[in-house]
Amino acid sequence: MANVADGGPTLVETAAALRAGTLRAADAVAEALDAARAAEWLNAFVMLHPERAAEEAERIDAARAAGTDPGPLGGVPVAIKDNIDEAGVVGSAGCAAYLDRVPDADATVVTRLRRAGAIVIGRTNMHELADGVTSENPHYGPVHNPHRRGFHPGGSSGGSAAAVAAGIVPAALGTDTGGSVRIPAALCGVVGFKPTLLRIPTDGIVPLSTTLDHAGVLARTVRDAAQMAAVLTEGAIAVPPEAWSVPQTGLRAGVLDFGFPPDPGVAGRFAEALRVLERLGWAVTPVEPGAVPLLGAATGVLSAIYAPEMGRRHEARLRERPADFSPDVRADLERGLAQPNGRYLEALGRRADLMGQLDQAMEELDLLVSPATPHPARPFGSPGSHTYLRYTCPFNLTGQPAISVPMGDVDGLPVGLQLAGRRNMDALVLRAAAAFEDALRGAAEGRTAG
């Protein structure tokens, strides 16, 4: 089984090899499909597209041979989460109630990927309707964590994270309503980037929450995530190549206290990560605990917003085919439909208050830092999965860009560092995350050489 530690090619490396002619798109796609089949035990995919992907690869190879530029991702194999529309392909969003759902158009994110030359090799498994953080899907089966069989990969974009971590594809699309890109990225040891709200279009994506959903990227490296973000935003999020080599010194980072301490092993890795940031020349200071009083209430606010929105979106299908929803998701739908509208409006008001509190807390800061999750991955069926949302969901409520970057492991299970920036400061978040990634890799290589 391949994984990140095996040093498989990154998206940037794959794209460069394709442009240089040292790699054919047909071979890149065939290798990705072979890797997916070899790692079937992960259950990362609900569907592969071997014929379609091979045909697209042949077209790209022919275009390149004829002197035509197929785009910045020409021939790069990628995967997309099962709640993202592809024309003429079943898009069930991980739910048996939607196995007959066949959209007639690609989601905008898929259109942009294909326009850039990327080749979608398949659709990834996920938590049902994106309503959960473990990707233990009752209809397709659970996704296994590539680092430990029988442990969940996080979610809801667990299949996308597992596919990247296992080296099947260098990047994949996910969605993030409360942490569903960053949580599985952290638990699988890859990068998960959620940009500023609506910087990546969400049309053509089955919604969990129309006001909180973010489209995002899972990738092997920060630079890979940045390349994907540039394509998906048509250049609105862009880091010039020369900017990667500019030292990210003098940044001001605030350490958030969510009122919910991480596991000791995660706390230890986070302390080490903060020392790395300080060695980079960052000013790392704690955010006053009382500066963001709503931080500890964020999960409740999130639930009071997304549950009724989710309930309204799926009510008709719930009434028609209740048995096709898992008991947990069915209960969430019913809870959302039963929630008084006054509570929903109150939650929207508290969301605005939280935005104001975090904006004020960041007046003298460039970034906020924390662990991405309080815990590493756990075995299937473990209780208390909602606590994984504690550190990620505030930034869905505020719409701020946030990224999870690997910061080591706890007993062989990866954990991530979360960096969040001000709204629309996505490029800064990416550059800062890359600086940490490079520093951590350099430290690890130094230890190996020593």
The pLDDT tens digits along the chain (450 residues) read: 233 345 579 999 999 999 999 999 999 999 999 999 999 999 999 999 999 999 999 999 999 999 999 999 999 999 999 999 999 999 999 999 999 999 999 999 999 999 999 999 999 999 999 999 999 999 999 999 999 999 999 999 999 999 999 999 999 999 999 999 999 999 999 999 999 999 999 999 999 999 999 999 999 999 999 999 999 999 999 999 999 999 999 999 999 999 999 999 999 999 999 999 999 999 999 999 899 999 999 999 999 999 999 999 999 999 999 999 999 999 999 999 999 999 999 999 999 999 999 999 999 999 999 999 999 999 999 999 999 999 999 999 999 999 999 999 999 999 999 999 999 999 999 999 999 999 998 877 666 555
CB atoms within 10 A of CB 442: 11
pLDDT at 1: 29
What length is written for the chain?
A: 450
Which among 32, 125, 122 is positioned nearest to 75, based on CA atoms?
32
Structure tokens at 174: 């996910």
Between the CA of residue 313 and those of 303, 305, 336, what are the distances in Å?
15, 13, 10
Cα dihedral angle (89, 92, 98, 100), rounded to 10 degrees?
Answer: 20
Identity of the residue numbered 279: R
C-beta of residue 243 within 8 angstroms of C-beta of residue 223: no
pLDDT at 449: 55
Q: Residue 418 CA to chain centroid, in angstroms? A: 12
Quote the CA–CA distance of 82 and 155 in Å, as a whole number. Answer: 13
Secondary structure percentages of the chain, helix, strand, coil, to 5: 45, 15, 40
Quote the CA–CA distance of 166 and 414 in Å, as a whole number. Answer: 13
Q: Which residues pair with 379 in a beta bridge?
A: 151
Q: Which residues pair with 84 in a beta bridge?
A: 205
Omega of the bond prior to 156 within 30 degrees of 0, cis? yes
C-beta of residue 232 within 8 angstroms of C-beta of residue 217: yes
Indicate the CATH number for domain 4-294+350-449. 3.90.1300.10
Structure tokens at 278: 């300080």
Quote the CA–CA distance of 92 and 101 in Å, as a whole number. Answer: 6
Q: What angle do CA 12, 72, 126 make, to 5 degrees?
A: 70
pTM for the complete prediction? 0.97
Give me the residue label for tokens 């969301």: 351
Residues serving a catalytic function are 81, 156, 180
pLDDT at 445: 67
Cα dihedral angle (426, 428, 430, 433), rounded to 10 degrees?
Answer: -140
Q: What is the pLDDT of residues 216-247, one digit of tens each?
A: 999 999 999 999 999 999 999 999 999 999 99
Rg (CA), the chain: 21
Helix H or strand E encompassing 275: helix 264-279
Q: How many CA atoms lie within 13 A of 152 on its CB side?
A: 28
pLDDT at 23: 99
pLDDT at 269: 99
Which among 368, 441, 377, 361 is positioned nearest to 402, based on CA atoms?
368
Largest CA distance in the chain: 64
Q: What is the pLDDT of residues 73-116, one digit of tens each?
A: 999 999 999 999 999 999 999 999 999 999 999 999 999 999 99
